[in-house]
Amino acid sequence: MTEEVLAPLAGNILQVLVEPGAKVEEDDDLLIIEALKMENAVAAPCSGTVKEIRVKVGDKVAEDAVLIVIE
């Protein structure tokens, strides 16, 4: 089963904390997004392996954009 991690709001990607193939647990921080001049951590919704990272540092993302895919 795959789970897509969505952007909680529009903003800029400041930091990506995981790499493809990394094992993550539910609620682990995956990346940091800046929105409304605040830094927000985006956490894993489930445990699994990072299959794909669809953003890089500096990207501007829309709300609900797919950021990371966990398998």
Residue 1 reports pLDDT greater than 90: no
Question: pTM of the full predicted structure?
Answer: 0.93
Name the nearest CA neighbour of 22 among 5, 39, 40. Answer: 5
pLDDT score at 6: 97
Domains in the chain, ordered, with CATH?
3-70 (2.40.50.100)
Q: DSSP code of 17? A: -
Three-state DSSP class for residue 1: coil
Q: 9-23, pLDDT tens digit by residue?
A: 999 999 999 999 999
